Structure 1
């Protein structure tokens, strides 16, 4: 192609990665996560260790985005939905849910929310994140006191909805056709509307 130009590639530049000494020491905190460069990969903080969040597949992103749009359309005031926003569940633990529902009055420039600001977290399960999405994250979210958790399995799309009772999540409903729950607000979600 003619007429195109680009800046020269700096062969000495290295992509950002967490300091290996601090990784072994497991002493990273939320302040360290907030200080990483904008062009760094997304990370979650797991007991003081920075774990890179894998890039989602097209189907995974489509499910997340369709659910985000559905929640935005049907949510009552004063709630709002978001994607790719972190939750600071403790000083040395953060999570990056695929979709979340939060109080709308939160400042819109924030990258992380506190658990008390979040009413629902949603994880879309991918092959590389099965254990974390099915076992580890629900326990972390429950311990942080987030009232509702949804897990979405793919192929076929199937939604499992949980609510927090006595410090643990209990299933409210699950469906591959229509999810009907009363929390965090009365919802009748046709699963076809979030299926790519």
Structure 2
């Protein structure tokens, strides 16, 4: 086993802080901060995951209101020790090419596309943290035999928890957080017959 590089050692006993992520150029892409610990993916991303994120990005960009933007793989500074990186988000913040994170009050919708390595974080840890931070809408997209299934949650403000709204297969139509219609069957390529 080789020694850990210096940049992987937390700068303080309680771990990392959200602002530390902007000063770790050696860290792998998609490094997140969860409860003061760095979390990053070191294995290859599945084609299904990446393709679905791209297709969702394009579909959402065509339908979001004029006062919103779609962000891909940008972190959200939930608090001093949590800065997760959702696969997609919809924000009310104006485009700024130098921006590296959003605050929860700027985010209207967070979307996580579940992969085997992120399943626990996406279904439980992030779901709880995004709700506690006050992000009003959360979608968790699952792979069901190669087809996307979207689990939609809405924030119940008095309890600061998400409540399930619906599960969508084949197609999705919602009026919140904005009017959106998606043909889920077209977001992933059909298997080729040989």
Specify if TM > 0.5: yes
What SS does the corresponding residue of 1:127 show, helix, strand or coil?
coil
Verify the 8 A CA contact 1:172 1:181 in the aligned structure 2: no
- Give RMSD over aligned pairs: 2.0
How far has the Cα of 1:49 moved from its partner?
1.2
Q: How does 1:1-196 map to 2 (within 5 A)?
A: 17-19=7-9, 22=10, 25-37=13-25, 40-54=28-42, 55-154=44-143, 155-166=146-157, 167-196=160-189
Q: Write the distance in 1 (CA, Å) between the matches of 2:94 and 2:45.
A: 29
- Per the normalisation by structure 1, the TM-score is 0.85
Structure 2: gaps of 5 or more residues: 190-194
- Give the structure 1 partner of residue 192 of structure 2: none
Verify the 8 A CA contact 1:173 1:179 in the aligned structure 2: no
Give the aligned length.
181
Larger Rg: 1
Q: Write the distance in 2 (CA, Å) between the matches of 1:16 and 1:150.
A: 36
Structure holding more helix per residue = 1
Structure 1: gaps of 5 or more residues: 1-13
Seen in structure 2, the aligned counterparts of structure 1 residues 158 and 23 have a Cα distance that, compared at 3 Å, is farther
Seen in structure 2, the aligned counterparts of structure 1 residues 171 and 27 have a Cα distance that, compared at 3 Å, is same
Q: Write the distance in 1 (CA, Å) between the matches of 2:121 and 2:68.
A: 27
What SS does the corresponding residue of 1:89 show, helix, strand or coil?
coil
What SS does the corresponding residue of 1:146 show, helix, strand or coil?
coil
- Per the normalisation by structure 2, the TM-score is 0.85
Verify the 8 A CA contact 2:149 2:169 in the aligned structure 1: yes
